[in-house]
Amino acid sequence: MQYARIRIRIVITTWVIGKKLRNGLKYSRVTILPDTLCIHLKRFRHDFAFSSKISSKVTFPLVDLDMAPWLHKDSASKVSLYDLSGVICHHGSAGGGHYTAYALNPIDEDWYEFDDSTVTKVDPGTVMSAEAYVLFYRKNGTSNEAYREKMQSLLALNQESPSLIKFYVSRQWINKFETFAEPGPIDNSDFLCHHGGVLPSKTSFVLDLCVALPQQVWEHLHSTFGGGPACTRLYECANCRAELDALTRQKKFELEEFKTLHQEFQVSVLKGIPSKEE
Ligand SMILES: [Zn+2]
């Protein structure tokens, strides 16, 4: 893999230390690795009025792209391996061209070429020899499989002896848990306020935003991923409701004040214009 075009900069620079010039090395490292890594190769060069295409051959792996060398030592990301899931190719010149794409079907695990309305099954070698423009890598998610299986077995167990207490967890976070390699800590802030109640603006559709889980499942998820806060009861936050009502009243008051002042201003302007008879 040629990393040179990735925007992870390593810059040799000159520092002024104690009035003396010293050579230094300035570099950037990644602190969080995303679940989907998008690598945009610089295929077009723009010099003043001229544009040209860079058609250099760039090789890339289909599996096990390791981002570990670019990871900051304090990074929370534990998984650094990625597998290719899609490629965008550009055919033609800087003046005009045509885009095609390759994508991996996760069901049959075959690669397909997408060229306008034509879809063709291709072998992995064809993908590897493509003149890639944009590469899409997905973080290797096998490490999370065990947690998902454990959750399914706990849910099955709950069918036999249902938990009396339900814990509400963000549906958005559950989606991450089911599809991401590293979903990060549980984050219920998309429906809970910092007081622990439901955000007044979300009360009417809060059940669309969260999932009720048995206590054993919550304990499994919370002990594995942390985060929260824990929520066993959905109620609108009285503090946030009072704040929202005060804000709504203030906005209404300001709008009425603005209308009155605007009206007074228009009347005074009209009074200032001499009539045609004068
Ligand atoms: Zn609140």
Q: What is the CATH classification number for the domain harbouring 151?
A: 3.30.2230.10
Strand, helix or coil for residue 13: strand
Ligand 1 centroid to residue 198 C-alpha, Å: 7
Confidence band for 19, pLDDT divided at 50, 70 and 90:
low
CA atoms within 13 A on the CB side of 260: 6
Instruction: State the distance from the centre of ligand 1 to the C-alpha of 235, rounded, in angstroms.
Output: 10
For residue 6, pLDDT beyond 50: no
**Residue 260 lies inside a defined structural domain of this protein:** no
Q: Which range of residues forms the domain containing residue 169? A: 144-228
Give distance in angstroms: CA of 197 to centre of ligand 1. Answer: 5
Residue 114: CATH number of its domain: 3.90.70.10
Residue 71 tokens read as: 């990871």
pLDDT of residue 105: 95
Please determine, for residue 113, whether its predicted confidence score (pLDDT) is greater than 70. Answer: yes
| CA 200 / ligand 1 centre spacing (Å) | 8
Residue 87 pLDDT class (50, 70, 90 cuts): very high
Q: Distance, CA 164 to ligand 1 centroid (Å)?
A: 26
CB atoms inside a 10 Å sphere around CB 6: 17
**pLDDT value at residue 17:** 56
181 DSSP assignment: S
pLDDT at 5: 38
Q: What is the pLDDT of residue 245?
A: 92
Dig out the tokens for 144 from the structure.
């999370």
- Domain boundary pick from 86, 111, 139: 139
- Integer Cα distance of 76 and 34 in angstroms: 11
Instruction: Say whether both 195 and 114 belong to one domain.
Output: no
Q: Average pLDDT, whole number, for the chain? A: 86
> Dmax over Cα atoms in the chain, in whole Å?
93
- What is the 186 CA–ligand 1 centroid distance (Å)? 19
42 within 8 A of 135, measured Cβ to Cβ: no
Measure 238 CA to ligand 1 centroid, in angstroms: 7
Check pLDDT > 80 for residue 246.
yes
- Would the pLDDT of 8 be above 60? no
- The verdict on residue 274 lying in a domain is no
Q: What does the pLDDT read at residue 75?
A: 80
User: Residue 199 C-alpha to ligand 1 middle, in angstroms?
Assistant: 6
153 and 222 co-located in one domain: yes
pLDDT given for residue 132 in this prediction:
93
Q: Please report where in the chains the tokens 């167990």 appear, as a residue.
A: 157
Q: Is residue 93 predicted with pLDDT exceeding 90?
A: no
| Locus of tokens 């423009």 | 133
* pLDDT computed for residue 170 by the predictor: 96
Contact between residue 1 and residue 60 where contact means Cβ atoms under 8 Å apart: yes
Q: Give residue 21's pLDDT band: very low, low, confident or very high (50, 70, 90).
A: low
Structural domains of the chain, count:
2
- How many Cβ atoms from other residues are within 10 Å of residue 191's Cβ? 24
What spacing in Å lies between the alpha carbon of 182 and ligand 1's midpoint? 29
pLDDT tens digit string along 173-224?
Answer: 999 998 888 888 999 999 999 999 999 999 999 999 999 999 989 999 999 9
Domain boundary among 116, 139, 162: 139
pLDDT interval class at 22 (50, 70, 90): low
Cα(11) to centroid(ligand 1), Å: 46
Q: How far is the CA of 194 from the centre of ligand 1 (A)?
A: 6
19 and 106 fall within a common domain: yes
For residue range 149-164, list pLDDT tens digits in order.
888 888 888 887 777 8
Domain identity same for 58 and 172? no
Percentage of the chain exceeding pLDDT 90: 53
- How far is Cα 189 from Cα 186, in angstroms, rounded to an integer? 9
Kindly tell me the sign of the dihedral angle through the C-alpha atoms of 125, 126, 129, 133.
Answer: negative
CA distances from 36 to 49, 81, 252 (A): 35, 11, 44
Q: Which of 11-20, 133-142, 254-263 has the highest mean pLDDT?
A: 254-263
In a domain, 246, yes or no: no
Ligand 1 centroid to residue 240 C-alpha, Å? 4
Give the CA angle between residues 91, 93, 99 to the nearest 5°.
Answer: 30
Inside any domain, residue 266: no
Distance 3 CA to ligand 1 centre (A): 46
Burial 80-97 (b: 16+ CB within 10 A, else e): bbbbbbbbbbbeeeeeee
Instruction: Return the sign of the alpha-carbon dihedral for residues 64, 65, 69, 71.
Output: negative
Q: How far is the CA of 256 from the centre of ligand 1 (A)?
A: 28
**Residue 273's pLDDT is what?**
62
pLDDT score at 210: 95
Q: pLDDT confidence of 236, banded at 50, 70, 90?
A: very high
> What is the average pLDDT across 114-128?
95
Domain assignment of residue 267, yes or no: no
Helix (H, G, I), strand (E, B) or coil at 252: helix
Mean pLDDT of the 36-63 span: 88
Kindly report the length of the chain.
278
Choose between 6 and 263: higher pLDDT. 263
| Residue 43 is assigned to a structural domain of this protein | yes
Give 246 Cα–ligand 1 centroid separation in angstroms. 14
Q: Tell how far the Cα of 244 is from the centroid of ligand 1, in angstroms.
A: 10
Tokens 């981002």 belong to 67
